[in-house]
Amino acid sequence: MPAALTVEREAARAGSAPGVAASAAALDDPLELERCTRWVSGPGGERLAESWLQLSGMYCAACAGTIEHALQAAGGAIEASVVAATQRATVRWDPARTRLSTLVGAVRAAGYEAVPDAAAPARALRRREHRQALWRFFVASFCAMQVMMFATPSYVASGDELSADLRQLLNWAAWFVSLPVMWFAAGPFFRAAWTQLRARRIGMDVPVALALAVTFVGSMGATFDPGGVFGTEVYFDSLTMFLAFLLGGRYLELRARHRAAEDLERTLARLPETVERRCGDGRWETVSVRRLQAGDEVRVALGQAFPADGVVLEGRTRVDEALLSGESEPQWRGAGDAVVAASVNVGAPVRVRVQRVGADTRFEAIVAMMREAMSQRPASARVADRWAAVFLWAVLGLAALGALAWSFIDPSRALWVAVAVLIVTCPCAFSLAAPAALVAAAGGLARRGVVFQRLEAIETLAAADAAFIDKTGTLTEDRLQLREVLLLPQARGETALDAASARVRAASLAQWSQHPLARTLVHAGDAGAAGAAAADGIAWHDLDEQRGRGLAGTDEDGRRWRLGAWDFVGGADEAPWPQVRVWLSCQGQVRAGFVLEEQLREGAAEAMARLRAHGLRLTLLSGDERARAEAMAARLGLDAAIGQASPEDKLACVAAAQAGGATVLMVGDGVNDAPVMARADVSLAMGQGALVARTQADAVIVSSRPADLVRAREVSTRTMAIVRQNMAWAALYNAACIPLALVGWLPPWAAGLGMATSSLFVILNALRAAR
């Protein structure tokens, strides 16, 4: 396809705003499918698709079960998980048996809306949902005010001040104004209740719809036939006020969900739609970022986000990686340095060689983790959902018993007592207590550089009482640092060599080796501009490296230099300083030794002290020799250290702690520690480059700052406290209000206000977890 046509079609796709009801062809297009789908292997090695959908029309936890049932009944869906708190679905399906458009159609046939979880259609869906929710709230509120005006004379009039004809006229007016409330504002509750009943499930919308229908029918009967079987009292004011309160609470809940979705969408929006790519003939063409491949050369302008992971070929700039690592200050990047997708070029234009694109990039790995976390239902939420179903049946039974009892006490009040019980006991607060707080916490931590893959991990992290922490790459940087240069006495006639010259000479020779110790010396030699220039100016020849021992080379003056172990450089007897790990010799005479030490990550000691203050027992796990591991543990104030630990030893340590009743947290690099991380109750990995994409940890500290590990622990502890507060509030509210409704002291309008206030309290309290 010609490049111009490719660009034109991609631009048209990027510039258009697809409607909510995406066509089947668009849903099944491979290029668009990959925006909301990843490919995984099934149990038998078959190729399966895992797609993310944004949903709307959900109002309770039972809706999640209805949608899951509809997806699995469509055929071809292997597994479906729906979370009401975020209105997202994750569907694993077999492309040989079904298509994404078929699954989306099944959701729509169940009475809900679904679109791929990609920016444009999801935004359109949220706008429509927000507009409809606002209109329903406005209609219910406005009509409630009008109905209250019609009802006020009946409340304030005494004796014969209000004639029967005028009272009847006001009742007729209230009935007429209530019609749009029942037809438009209450429509979603009736549709959802009908869908739940048709699926032989009971959700929170069933008692709400039942209460609305009974109140409206009873009041209408009293209006049309005063003194008949429904009596003379009408409750159009209670009906409209209850619905206004309920819709107001659900509107605030919807706004909270939309904010979480917008946070994720802003993350996705960091990638540019198009980028300049170099053609084989040297020309530059503008193409979609989805057309990039590894090895392409692209040009990134000032202010543009990097379209993929890559390495800088030409230019020097500053890169804003705040979104990915939480690092507030832009970082310098020059030729040979790595850059990551979605970080922003804030310094100068550069040319970049693409190394990883699409799902292989660090950015997409983070987004996938955020999506997965937002699409999971935590254990506490599943427990609440199960109890909510039992509770709903108990509510219906209580309402029936209350109506039966009052039919003997005061038949005119029996119906309204039942309505009040149905309204006040709607278990919205119970079902929202855990997922709302956990979703808010996950979103807040993600903005600070800690990305959870499992919401349940927040619960477990709060309960952890023992932590095993890997040393290298977790508490220390993944490279050593040069602490000191020690000079040996020089023989008579030798050229004087000071510490700076020794460091430059060692760095220059070390440039020809990829050994970690050699790279440390290169980094130390590059610390000063003069040193770097001097190191680059030395011409070496006759280079010879012996693996694991050292490197030798001849300089421009014909002198033979050696860099490496004591015996390799020509040292006799024992080395004078045991702490020296690398030696430098010239013409067989040892001239200098380099003391290298591990560099603690910034804030590591303070972070460990704060974790101990939080009640965690800290154990250092390391493959280094025992003395070095114990010295590091003492330096950091840890409780214990285990050195020379193999992967099997680490696994045994964690298993022993769990056998003793401990809830174990494991912190490591996410790859080398994969077996022990899988065994631990909860695991966090320091995220470095491509490790993020391969980690099996429950969460990734993208910033790699130990202080963020403490923040994750503090936020998880605070979040679970909020969950307990929400549960306690919901239980206390129901314990207080159900008896009041049963004895007839709580009218329907007050029950509606209480129920809406309870749900609103839970949502607002849950949002504190994001701080």
pTM flag (> 0.85): no
Residue 325 scores a pLDDT above 60: no
Share of the chain above pLDDT 70, in %: 79
| pLDDT given at position 721 | 92
> Which two tokens mark 403?
């109506």
Question: Among the listed ranges 477-486, 514-523, 608-617, 693-702, which one has the minimum average pLDDT value?
Answer: 693-702
| pLDDT given at position 529 | 38
In the block, residue with structure tokens 């679109």: 115
| Geometric angle at alpha carbon 671, from 36 and 311, rounded to 5° | 65
What is the mean pLDDT of the segment spanning 47-67?
Answer: 82
- Binned at pLDDT 50, 70 and 90, residue 98 comes out as very high
DSSP assignments along 59-84, one per residue:
-SHHHHHHHHHHHHHTSSEEEEEEET
- Binned at pLDDT 50, 70 and 90, residue 351 comes out as very high
* Amino acid letter, residue 235: Y
Question: Among the listed ranges 3-7, 80-84, 188-192, 519-523, which one has the minimum average pLDDT value?
Answer: 3-7
Higher pLDDT among residues 4 and 286, named by residue: 286
Say which residues have a Cβ less than 8 Å from residue 726's Cβ, sequence separation at least 6.
429, 432, 433, 434, 436, 437, 762, 765, 766
Region for residue 207 given its phi and psi (left: phi exceeds 0; alpha: psi -120 to 50; beta: otherwise) = alpha
What is the mean pLDDT of the segment spanning 42-66?
Answer: 82
pLDDT digits (tens, 9 = 90+) for 365-383: 655 654 554 454 555 555 5
Would you give the distance in Å from CA 705 to the centre of its chain? 18
Torsion of CA 249, 459, 696, 117, to 10 degrees: 0
Region for residue 670 given its phi and psi (left: phi exceeds 0; alpha: psi -120 to 50; beta: otherwise) = left
Using alpha carbons, list the distances in angstroms from residue 371 to 237, 366, 381, 591: 43, 9, 18, 57
Say which residues have a Cβ less than 8 Å from residue 324's Cβ, sequence separation at least 6.
340, 342, 343, 362, 363, 366, 449, 702
Task: Give the span between the Cα atoms of 629 and 65, in whole angstroms.
Answer: 51
Task: Give the span between the Cα atoms of 538 and 466, in whole angstroms.
Answer: 52
Closest CA to 405 of 396, 392, 393, 414: 414
Check if 470 is active-site.
yes
What is the mean pLDDT of the segment spanning 17-33?
Answer: 56
Residue 536: φ, ψ to 5°: -70, -20
What is the mean pLDDT of the segment spanning 326-345?
Answer: 77
| pLDDT given at position 685 | 81
Task: Give the span between the Cα atoms of 236 and 216, in whole angstroms.
Answer: 7
Locate all alpha helices (DSSP H) within 88-186, ordered by sequence. 100-109, 119-156, 164-180
Task: Give the span between the Cα atoms of 505 and 556, in whole angstroms.
Answer: 12
Torsion of CA 346, 348, 351, 357, to 10 degrees: 0
Would you give the distance in Å from CA 383 to the centre of its chain? 22
pLDDT digits (tens, 9 = 90+) for 561-613: 999 989 899 888 888 887 788 999 998 889 999 988 777 888 888 999 999 99
Residue 737 scores a pLDDT above 50: yes
Higher pLDDT among residues 373 and 113, named by residue: 113
Residue 426: φ, ψ to 5°: -60, 115
Using alpha carbons, list the distances in angstroms from residue 238 to 206, 216, 428, 747, 754: 18, 10, 20, 8, 12
pLDDT digits (tens, 9 = 90+) for 670-691: 445 667 777 888 888 876 533 4
Residue 484 scores a pLDDT above 80: yes
Residue 3 scores a pLDDT above 90: no
First to last CA, the chain: 50
Q: Which of 205, 470, 669, 698 is catalytic?
A: 470
Residue 431: φ, ψ to 5°: -75, -25
* Amino acid letter, residue 676: V
| 693-702: b (≥16 Cβ within 10 Å) or e | bebebbbbbb
Closest CA to 665 of 675, 685, 680: 680
DSSP state of 531: H
In the block, residue with structure tokens 């209609």: 139
| pLDDT given at position 2 | 36
Residue 196: φ, ψ to 5°: -65, -45
- Is residue 8 within a helix (H) or strand (E), and if so which, with residue range? helix 3-15
| pLDDT given at position 417 | 83
Say if residue 623 is exposed, middle or buried (CB neighbours under 10 Å; 0-12, 13-18, 19+): middle
Contact 267, 367 (CB under 8 A): yes
Write the secondary structure of 299-346 as one string of H (helix), E (strand) and C (coil): EECCCCECCCEEEEEECCEEEECHHHHCCCCCEEECCCCEECCCCEEC
pLDDT digits (tens, 9 = 90+) for 229-260: 776 778 788 788 878 877 876 776 677 667 66
| pLDDT given at position 711 | 92
Say if residue 440 is exposed, middle or buried (CB neighbours under 10 Å; 0-12, 13-18, 19+): buried
> If you average pLDDT over every residue of the chain, what do you get?
78
Higher pLDDT among residues 71 and 426, named by residue: 71
Region for residue 603 given its phi and psi (left: phi exceeds 0; alpha: psi -120 to 50; beta: otherwise) = left
Residue 152 scores a pLDDT above 80: yes
| Geometric angle at alpha carbon 511, from 505 and 512, rounded to 5° | 115
Contact 438, 768 (CB under 8 A): no
Closest CA to 313 of 357, 278, 272, 358: 278
pLDDT digits (tens, 9 = 90+) for 272-323: 656 888 988 888 887 767 778 888 999 988 878 888 888 999 888 888 775 5
Inter-axis angle of helices 706-742 and 456-463, nearest 10: 100
The strands making up 317-320's β-sheet, listed across from edge to edge, are 331-333, 317-320, 344-345
Closest CA to 693 of 422, 340, 332: 340
Task: Give the span between the Cα atoms of 584 and 637, in whole angstroms.
Answer: 35
